[in-house]
Amino acid sequence: MTMYNAPHESRDEEKVASLVEAMRTGQSIPPIVVNGDTAICGSHRIEAAVRADRLREGMADGWEDTPEIDLPTVEVEDSVIYAAYDKMHITGLDEIGDWNEFCSVVRDICDDDEVKTALSDQV
């Protein structure tokens, strides 16, 4: 499984548990938006994928036939990330206080429809 650095810790245990179950049953998971190995959304999906992968690898009950967990992703270009930094008057990810605001800025300045769609549930 490809791993991505999550933007923040997951905060909603029910959401993570629901996503883990969705992964076990092979349901479609919305893509996360990434820039290299850094995700700008999807903290709960990333945490769920880590847990689901552990359960799958450990052959937990109900996971025997589950295929390898592979999070769908959409890549956002560096230029969009840097333009979002400029618009927010920051110099890096470590200065982001509100990830939903950052996602909204990225969505607003990005021309890529896949990125815009993937970020629509974040704003």
Query: Tens digit of pLDDT for each residue in 14-56?
Result: 999 999 999 999 899 999 999 999 999 999 999 999 999 989 8
Task: Please indicate whether residue 79 or residue 68 has the higher confidence score (pLDDT).
Answer: 79
- For residue 61, the model assigns a pLDDT of 82
Domain boundaries, the chain: 13-119
Query: Tens digit of pLDDT for each residue in 50-78?
Result: 999 989 888 888 888 888 888 999 999 99
Query: Tens digit of pLDDT for each residue in 81-117?
Result: 999 999 999 999 999 999 999 999 999 999 999 999 9
Burial 24-61 (b: 16+ CB within 10 A, else e): beeeebbbbbbbeeebbbbbbbbbbbbbbbebbeeeee
Q: What is the pTM of this model?
A: 0.89
